[in-house]
Structure 1
Amino acid sequence: MLLTAALCSSKAPAQALQPYAVVGDTIPASLTGAAGDATRGRALVLNRASTCILCHSGPFPEEKFQGDLAPDLSGSGARWSEGQLRLRIVDASRLNPATIMPSYYRIDGLVRVGTAWRGKPILSAEQIEDIVAYLVSLRQ
């Protein structure tokens, strides 16, 4: 699967982070300037390399061994706005400094980072937007 290869590749060149503004508890604007693709976002959430379902459960009856350390993703789009979801994925530590959720789109100030991920985000701006598009679609 292409998503798996792209997500797991430690040979990918470091990419510059897109600038973004945090407003309250949101990142209101898309990191890419465009909406993400919910179908690709679902595939990323279910891909164990992205780690989402290692901690979260959700409306994924086909997936065994979903996590129970973090909130269920069912109804995410009803509980949080697009901007709130974006900030939680980009850098949840801005909302809760003690969180165990990784900062998926941050490279500064991190101390326990695997060699393959030093100097680059875990997810690209496009992948963040795809996941946001999927999570926003989960209304129930």
Structure 2
Amino acid sequence: MSTAFSLAPLFRSSVGFDRFNDLFETALRNEPGSSYPPYNVEEHGDDQYRIVIAAAGLQEDDLELQVEKGVLTVSGGKRDPKAESVTYLHQGIAQRAFKLSFRLADHIEIKAADLSNGLLSIDLLRVVPEEAKAKRIPINGAQKPALQH
């Protein structure tokens, strides 16, 4: 009997991390209520990411995005539900308030956010400055440096 397991939960709330340890710590934190609303974290190339959040029934004014200390926080919910004079015979579309947090890796920048067809898409880009990029060090095997005594 073989047991298969998925590492997908480790990648849900971290974007742009290449270090397994950071992902593991985030997965262990497992905050209550973090499953609503449903969302995807997508990779669109080596340095491009997108977070897509199901925001059915919400408008741009009902949503707020904020980045502070490397954490992207997305919160939302109907601001004034009493403003509508609607009697629901069945209410299957959840319109409760929510708050999602995503810890961003170093050098991840928010490029754009768009609300279309009930989906909030947040585009992210990793922009690594030259001084932080890996540098190749040449090895001069043909000539040996002279040691001074």
| TM-score bin, normalised by smaller chain | under 0.3
Which has the larger share of helix?
1
From the two aligned structures, give the one with the greater strand fraction: 2
Ranked by relative contact order (alpha carbons within 8 Å, sequence separation 6 or more), the top structure is 1
Highest CA radius of gyration, 1 or 2?
Answer: 2
TM-score of the two chains, using structure 2 as the length reference? 0.22
TM-score (norm 1): 0.23
